[in-house]
Amino acid sequence: MYKAEWLKGFVAVANFGSFSKAARQADLSTMALSKQVAALENLLKEPLFERSTRKIRLTELGREFLPKAQIILKQHQDLAEWVDGRQQSPAGVLRILAQESEILGMTITPWLGEFCRLYPDIKLEIDVSEKLVDIEKESFDIYWGMSEYLGRQFPGLRRRTIFNSVFGIYASPEYLAFYGKPKNIADLANHKMISYLYNQPNNMLIINVPNYKGTGLPAIEMSAPIKTVQGMLELAEQGLGLVNGAPDIPKYRQSITEGRIVPVLEDYWFRDLDAFVYYHQSKIEQPKVRVFIDFIMAKKDEWLL
């Protein structure tokens, strides 16, 4: 391996024509500089300087090696400047995967114009996937708005909490008029639900069971006439079953305010459910990842939650 300090020492001696002058310029002792050049000569198995006279001269190998060493050192400098530039102005393609378009629209989309003006060298690629995420098949830099399942599935990921929300159970007045309003978990045996297709199993209603000891969110399996990822709220408004939802999300808030859905089984709601941003573990966060998360999180007070 041609160590950079060996090459720098060799080029300095060649330029000054003197070990002592080169050593002073590099703030090294003459002996230390001589050892660097000697190490390089040992690696090359030939001398780089003729030392038989007071003024040292390059050997034939030294003359041929000098421009090559200078090219390598220039590449080192260019690389250092490029890395420093990335630290000052993060760059590259940043791939973001969101769990829900609604969350994306509340927490990220309104500020993308400002972010792109601040960081013009970062190119964004944003996708939405409502199915369960497998990071081994879907390679993104940031996974936005995910629940705890992603951290349990891939414990090597780092995460930050995006927001904390209530997660409730709702039904339309028409549905409750026909089926009756459930008062406890046992009553659910006579009810239907709108199910999220990618839940496991995909016919379960998420409920907060007292003293629950299992892993993940507790749930009860129910009859699900429709299993879907789209339009769950709209289907519940049509009276097709109970639905899980977060009243902090604007479309749910509006539906509740207008009376299209009403809360049920409030004693079994989650009052403290987190959503996270996940990103890959590394000793030093990628600048493009760090600045994006910091920028969006700084807008948190403006989110419509």
> Domains, the chain, ranges and CATH?
4-88 (1.10.10.10), 92-164+275-302 (3.40.190.10), 165-271 (3.40.190.10)
The radius of gyration computed from the CA coordinates of the chain, to the nearest angstrom, equals 32
By CB atoms closer than 10 A (0-12, 13-18, 19+), residue 272 is exposed
Token digits of residue 302: 């403006």
How far is Cα 237 from Cα 256, in angstroms, rounded to an integer? 10
Q: What's residue 49's pLDDT?
A: 92
CB 133 within 8 A of CB 163: no
Handedness of CA 71, 73, 78, 83 (dihedral sign): positive
Token reading at 173: 């007045």
Query: From CA 295, how far away is CA 277, in angstroms rounded?
Result: 13
List the structure tokens of 29.
Answer: 């002792």
**pLDDT 10s digits, 259-302:** 999 999 999 998 888 889 999 887 566 889 999 999 999 998 88
Contact 26, 9 (CB under 8 A): yes
Q: Which residue is listed with tokens 């002996």? A: 31
- What does the pLDDT look like over 19-31, one tens digit per residue? 989 898 888 899 9
The total number of residues written for the chain in this structure: 305
Instruction: Name the band, by pLDDT with cuts 50, 70 and 90, for residue 210.
Output: confident
- Say whether pLDDT at 222 is over 70: yes
Q: What is the pTM of this model?
A: 0.63
The interaxial angle of helices 30-44 and 4-16, nearest 10 deg, is 110
The string of pLDDT tens digits covering residues 162-199 is 988 888 999 999 999 999 999 998 999 999 999 988 77
% helix, strand, coil for the chain, step of 5: 45, 25, 35
Predicted pLDDT of residue 87: 63
Report in angstroms the alpha-carbon separations of 297 from 16, 98, 149, 273, 303.
54, 15, 22, 18, 10
Contacts by 107-113 with C-beta closer than 8 Å and gap 24+? Answer: 107/144, 107/145, 107/162, 107/163, 107/296, 107/299, 107/300, 107/303, 107/305, 108/144, 108/296, 110/299, 110/302, 111/295, 111/296, 111/299
* Model pLDDT, residue 217: 72
Q: Distance between CA atoms of 36 and 175, rounded to whole angstroms?
A: 84
3-class SS of residue 287? helix
The answer to whether the peptide bond before residue 201 is cis (omega within 30 degrees of 0) is yes
Instruction: Taking the CA atoms of 6, 11, 16 and 17 in sequence, report the sign of the dihedral they define.
Output: positive
